[in-house]
Chain A
Amino acid sequence: MATVYINDKAVDIGDKNLNLVQVAELAGVTIPHYCYHPELSVVASCRMCLVEVGEKKPDGTVVMQPRVIPACQTPAKDNLVVQTATEKSKSAQAQTLEAILLNHPLDCPVCDKAGECKLQDYSYKYGNSESRMVDDKNTPPNKPDLGHNISLFTDRCIMCSRCVRFTREISGTAELHIVNRGSHSEIDIFPTEPLNNKLASNVVDLCPVGALASKDFLYTHRVWNLKTQDSVCAGCSTGCSIHLDTNKNVVYRLRPRENPKAQGYFMCDDGRLGYHYANSGDRISKPQMKTEIVAHQNSWKDIIPALRTDLKAIGTKKPNGIAVMLSPFLTVEEAYLLASFIKSVSADAVLVLGPIPVIGEDDHYPKTRGTTPLKPKFTIRNEKCPNRKGVEEVIRYFEKKVVSVVDYLNQTIPDVMFVAAGYPDKDGSWMDSNLLSLFKKIKLLIAQDLFPSELTLASKYVIPSATFSEKEGSFVNFSGLAQELHWGCVPLHQVRTEGQVYLDLLERKGLLQASTIREEIAKAIPYFFKFSGGKLGENGIELENLS
């Protein structure tokens, strides 16, 4: 039981090992800082977090130390007294800002970071409004090609060294380093090793100012026009929590969202930059039903009933002739709704699992150049889909076992198959030629996918899919962590989310409310019993008890 006093407010830190920046946060006090980051080693070099620290004696008097101390390097202990806003603290913080701004270019009007820049924010709160610098600023040349996706605006760098420590401690690839010394220090790469590791773009988030930029986002949008939603990356089964940044139904950027239950603070570049398919003009933009004569562009109000009729007809005639493929890109709610619908059409309808894309091996970081492997701090998983676990558990509930679509089709060719795909791959490359030829043997195909392919060509019904950025729902990652997605974009043209389509098929009125569906799932499927209440919280809920 330890008590620390932050600006005269008592904070009980229990028996946790915290530094003063963390303790202040618990008290609702921000101690400004640049170089400190909870996942990186402490260097206390930016000198932004300077505060006054003292001790409360048993008799109640407080003895403050004569000099300011960095909060990030000071461990919290019982009876520590911290003052962050005294004359001495404030003046130390203002001095640090003045020093940083001596050589910092006034680039705000052209700098990507404006609006989310710690230098702007802290200058406004803790700095001076005027500069006393009349001499020339250092102007080192910029380095636009530090890596495939990284540009460096060298003159903006404040030498916090977060990026260098990231490549040494987290990715382990150590491409970034510092050259020269003193006020001529710069960040750089070595010519034979540009900054191209799979975690590279995290340095853009880590950079407190606009020195490091993501080429993917550079100059595309001002951050204050972006709408941000909490969501989950759909790139692999790690299921990194993300911020989804959109404007006017276009996805502009994904950023990792801190989640101690999920991946921590970072995300990989494949996931971060792998959203462009959502904005693609090649997406299937409207539902389509083929008639005898020619492909009719029909409307939802015609197609949904027609589809329902077709399925019910087969359901009556041949109850086990209906099959549904559920892809691992569906949310739990979508899988459940479609499964419920199909089972209402025929109790003998078969549910199978779509292909699970697996590329290579799990990729562990940090890498090392030595011979002793290091304990992984971040893993990019080889299972390149977000919800295999969730969809499998839905299938397992209805079918008692999980069968892959290939294994099923190799045994049985159904009369009709509803292929709920929604894979981000273009041209149907999520299917190999074997699977495609198996699909083509099916008389009546209903294809629900993002992009046209030979499958959609062969299908009577083509239903557009929506992307993760357009959905409400949940994914379950490799470890059983269920997290909520929130939509940032309204699906364009005549696209509807899978969940909405399945509600319509079920003739349930109204818009999809994911939390309502979750409550139903919680009652029905034991694996999902923690879904009761409908909310998963911002960090998600662990469905599998890891004791």
Chain B
Amino acid sequence: MSALNPQIVEKIKYLITLYPAKQAVTLPALHLVQDEYRCVSVQSIVEIAALLELSPAEVHDTMSFYGFFKTEANPLGKCRLWVCRSLACDLRGADDLLNNLIDKLGVGLGETTKDGLFTLEEAECIGACEGAPCVLINDVHSLNVLDADRLVEEIKKKL
């Protein structure tokens, strides 16, 4: 076992006890790996598959469906900054916010800043429409985001 550290392996084995079938641990295992390594490598997939008695293709099938997990060629930065692009946010300036963030961070959609801090992405409705336009900072909402510069600075302080 080389790609998954022992803590992750233990956690996966524990999760297997919670579900009636091993395959159900696929998504939780992928989350564990991506949270730790900011991507899911080919070798991780092989090792997850072995633990869950699946083929690596079966694990990858699930993984690629979500468009959420990154490969080792394109890992996430420390902060995945995703800008909601659904209707309520779009009606209240999401496109300007996105363009401002593109300018401020100097990256395009799907790209990571050179310092490895920010990956800029779009999200479909993140469920905070009362504060449109809104973003997710990893998995935490930030509402009423009108000032892209201030947002980035505030995030940087906490990183």
Contacts and interface: CB of A to CB of B under 8 A. Distances in A.
B40 to A, nearest CB: 12
Given A179-B61, A181-B65, A173 B55 contact: yes
B42 A193 contact: no
Contacts of B57: 174-177, 188-190, 193
Interface in A411-432: none
Contact of A177 (B42, B53, B58): B58
B45 interface: yes
A17 interface: no
Given A177-B60, A180-B64, A181-B67, A191 B42 contact: yes
A369 B53 contact: yes
Contacts of B61: 177-179
Nearest to B63: A179
B56 interface: yes
Interface centre among B42, B49, B56 (most CB of A within 10 A): B56
Contact of B55 (A178, A188, A190): A190
A220 B64 CA distance: 36
Contacts of A178: 61, 64-65
B65 A180 contact: yes
Interface string B78-121: 00000000000000000000000000000000000000000000
A180 B55 contact: no
A179 B60 contact: yes
A193 B55 contact: yes
Nearest to B64: A179
Contacts of B65: 178-181
B54 A190 contact: no
B54 A192 contact: no
Interface string B31-72: 000000000001001100100011111101100111100000
B55 A369 contact: yes
Nearest to B58: A174
B147 to A, nearest CB: 34
A150 to B, nearest CB: 14
Contact of B45 (A173, A176, A188, A190): A190
B23 to A, nearest CB: 10
A168 B58 CA distance: 9
A177 B54 CA distance: 12
Interface string A367-378: 001110000000
Contacts of A188: 57
A179 B66 CA distance: 9
B42 A192 contact: yes
Nearest to A371: B53
Given A179-B61, A180-B65, A192 B56 contact: yes
Contacts of A175: 55, 57
A180 B65 CA distance: 5
Contacts of A168: 58
Contacts of B53: 369-371
A34 B28 CA distance: 34
A177 to B, nearest CB: 4
Nearest to B65: A181
Contacts of B64: 178-180
B54 A369 contact: yes
Contact of B56 (A190, A370, A371): A190
A194 to B, nearest CB: 10
Contacts of B58: 168, 174, 177
A193 B55 CA distance: 9
A484 to B, nearest CB: 39
A132 B60 CA distance: 36
Interface string A333-377: 000000000000000000000000000000000000111000000
A173 B54 CA distance: 9
B50 to A, nearest CB: 8
Interface centre among A177, A178, A180, A369 (most CB of B within 10 A): A177
A290 B4 CA distance: 71
Given A174-B55, A369-B55, A190 B67 contact: no
B65 to A, nearest CB: 5
Contacts of A179: 60-61, 64-65
Interface in A124-183: 168, 173-181
Contacts of A369: 49, 53-55
A189 B58 CA distance: 10
Contacts of A174: 54-55, 57-58
A176 B58 CA distance: 8
7 contacts: A174-B57, A177-B58, A179-B61, A180-B67, A190-B42, A190-B56, A193-B55
Given A174-B57, A190-B45, 6 more contacts: A175-B57, A177-B61, A179-B64, A189-B57, A192-B42, A193-B55
The 10 closest A-B pairs by CB, nearest first: A174-B55, A177-B61, A177-B57, A179-B64, A190-B57, A190-B56, A370-B53, A369-B53, A181-B65, A190-B60
Interface of A: 168, 173-181, 188-193, 369-371
